[in-house]
Amino acid sequence: MKNKTLTFAISVLVISMFLCVAFVAVWAQVGTNIEPINPASGLVGSHVNVKGTIDTPNGTYLIYFGAQLVINNTSIDYAVNENFTVPDLPAGTYNITLQDTMSNQTAVQSFTITMIPTGFSAIPWSTFAIMGISVVIAFLNSGLNRLLITHFVGWEQYRSMQKETSEWRSQQMAAARANDKKQLEKLKKKESQIMAMQKKMAKPQMVLFGVSFIYIVVWIFFLTPTYGASPVAYLPGFGNTLGFGPHGEMGVFYWYPICSLLFGTLASRILGVLPME
């Protein structure tokens, strides 16, 4: 008898615990709520993420930015997770409202549209930070390239061979255009010598090839996680073109390669390291 009573008591306790857990889970889900907006401010055209819940499972909901409807969708169970673009409105603070269309319950968070900066203040610090990183990497890369050339070939010999191969190639192209078979035959005799020069000049480049991956490593594993999709530079006159934002803002995806190409070329010129022609 005692065993039956104990078994019954344990069963009631276990069932009660399951019911409590289920009640808490449902209670936690029910309700129209919005999590803090991310980001909480930005320019017109910025991307905003809204997360929250509504009262009705798999119910329809509306999201308003101020008085403007920006989202009309259906929840997944109780969950809401939406992205939208900040509409073209004057700078100021606006309410982002999530409304459950079935229960008519609402939840509100605020978002501030910031003014478009002008003049020098329009340039974010990230613009200069990425430029600085690009300058350092460009000069390190070009400096290392020159050291490798000096070690494997010799700087003066490298420049001499580079000039000779360039002249040979120009003469070959001119002879081909003029259909000068005699000149082509003459240049053909020197082809093996030119190929040997090119092979020797390519050795430093092959060693440097692996080092050059530092550009990609910095881009993908440092700059992209640091700045994400945030604007890091502005290019006036290019709004909504080439993947730029409405005000010409660009992310690190564009700005870093532009800086790398610009300062890489500049560093090569300054240090006298030119690509093989």
3-state SS assignment for residue 102: coil
| Token pair recorded at residue 144 | 């290392």
**Domain assignment of residue 102, given as a range:** 32-113
Q: Residue 148 falls within a domain, yes or no?
A: yes
What is the distance between the terminal CA atoms of the chain, rounded to a whole angstrom? 99
Chain-centre distance for alpha carbon 224 = 5
Q: Within this chain, do residues 130 and 265 fall inside the same structural domain, yes or no? A: yes
Q: Within this chain, do residues 179 and 44 fall inside the same structural domain, yes or no? A: no
Lowest-confidence pick of 73-82, 157-166, 214-223, 245-254: 245-254
Q: Within this chain, do residues 123 and 107 fall inside the same structural domain, yes or no? A: no
Out of 113, 131, 146, a domain closes at 113
Q: Residue 16 falls within a domain, yes or no?
A: no
Q: Residue 169 falls within a domain, yes or no?
A: yes
Mean pLDDT of 118-134: 81
Q: Within this chain, do residues 144 and 165 fall inside the same structural domain, yes or no? A: yes
pTM of the model: 0.53
Q: Within this chain, do residues 184 and 264 fall inside the same structural domain, yes or no? A: yes
Which runs of E-coded beta strand occur in the chain? Answer: 33-34, 41-42, 47-53, 60-65, 68-74, 79-85, 92-100, 106-113, 233-234, 249-250
Q: Residue 275 falls within a domain, yes or no?
A: no
pLDDT 10s digits, 20-49: 544 444 444 458 899 998 788 888 888 899
Owner of token pair 């329809």: 60
Q: Within this chain, do residues 149 and 52 fall inside the same structural domain, yes or no? A: no
Out of 62, 84, 113, a domain closes at 113
Q: Within this chain, do residues 61 and 147 fall inside the same structural domain, yes or no? A: no
Q: Residue 266 falls within a domain, yes or no?
A: yes
